[in-house]
Structure 1
Amino acid sequence: MRLALSAVCALLIAGCAGDAEPDAEPDAEAAAESAAIGPSPSPSAATAPSMTVQQLASAVGCTAEIQSKAADYRQATCKNEQADYVLVDFDTVEGQRAWLDYAEMYGGIYLVGDRWALSAKSKEYMESLRAKLGGTVEERGAFSSSPSPTSAQAETAAP
């Protein structure tokens, strides 16, 4: 057992000391070593979303304009003949869920995929995008402590 552990450590050290190019394909020996050691997933590790805001914008036919970059997400907008879009990509599933939970207070309809979300005009339109992009359509309800008066109500309430 000690000999096997020593061999694995030596292989790991040798692999770290190599000067492979960043874009180089892993060789068969490195793949075998990795498979023998096994993956070490981290539940909070940040990885690239399945689609970035730029890819989402391209898929709907517009150009993303980044509105905000936070520690765990990027939000962009874009516009084409069909709709105005809000596009978001996330580093983590947890960050995505937190963002969507926060969006509850604003309401809206969201097409939600693997660490990305977008919003546009109607549920029917979002369903048509779902057929193209995948994901699920989620409807978020806005809430408030009191309804805002309409302009007609405000005019009659004025002294």
Structure 2
Amino acid sequence: MSQRARSPLTARLLLAGGLALLTLTTGCGAGSDESKVSSATKVTAAPSAGVVAPAKVEVIAGLVGCKVKIRTDADELREGVCHGKDGDFLITTFPEERFKLTWLDAASIYGGKYLVGTRWVVSGPEALLKKFRPELGGNIKQL
């Protein structure tokens, strides 16, 4: 097996191990109060692979096999564009969930479907969103 073929599997295993460790360390505190868990620790699991897409444009792009070009790098969001044989799509990430909710509210005037996860959104053709969901998780939302 080539090094290239092992890289996505290795990344997924490391990510799954990190999430398991996070679950163990956050769930073992004496008197822990679930309501105090910040939105930054909540994750959206992929339905079949059990993978979680981190809120980083380059990592999400890598999970779906895209070499992303960053077009917006601001305090409230980062956005990258990917050009693929199946169509073009955007990956937008947010440092806080509230910025994502504001962005979605603004995007609702354009309509369309979006793949939405914790602190990230992928916009593109519906067929691509359905294809990416097993890798990234999230939910397809109609705005």
Tell me the TM-score normalized by structure 2: 0.61
* From 110, 113, 116, the counterpart of 2:114: 110
| Match 1:125 to one of 125, 128, 132 | 128
Q: Which of 52, 59, 67 lines up with 2:56 in the alignment? A: 52
CA contact (8 A) 1:113 1:134 kept: yes
Percent identical pairs in the alignment equals 31
SS of residue in 2 equivalent to 1:50: coil
Which amino acid is the alignment partner of residue 116 of structure 1? Answer: W
Match of 1:98 in 2: 102
Secondary structure at the aligned position of 1:107 is classed as coil
Asked if the contact 1:61–1:80 (Cα under 8 Å) also holds between the matched residues in 2, the reply is: no
Report the Cα distance in structure 2 between the residues aligned to 1:128 and 1:68, rounded to whole angstroms. 25
User: TM-score of the superposition, structure 1-length normalised?
Assistant: 0.55
Deviation at 1:125, TM superposition (A): 3.1
Q: One-letter code of the match for 1:130?
A: R
User: Aligned letter for 1:62?
Assistant: C
Higher relative contact order at CA 8 Å, sep ≥6: structure 1 or structure 2?
2
Cα distance in 2 for residues equivalent to 1:43 and 1:72: 18
Structure 1 runs (4+) deviating above 4 angstroms are: 35-39, 41-45
- Number of corresponding residues: 107
Distance in structure 2 (CA, Å) of the matches to 1:102 and 1:88: 14
* 5+ residue gaps, structure 2: 1-24, 41-52
Root-mean-square deviation over aligned CA pairs: 3.0
Q: Which of residues 78, 82, 87 is equivalent to 1:83?
A: 87
The equivalent residue for 2:65 is 61
Q: CA deviation at 1:115?
A: 0.7
- In structure 2, distance between residues paired with 1:54 and 1:120: 17
Separation in 1 of the partners of 2:138 and 2:37? 24
3-state SS of paired residue (2:62)? helix
> Alpha carbons of 1:71 and 1:44: their partners in 2 closer, same or farther (altered >3 Å)?
farther
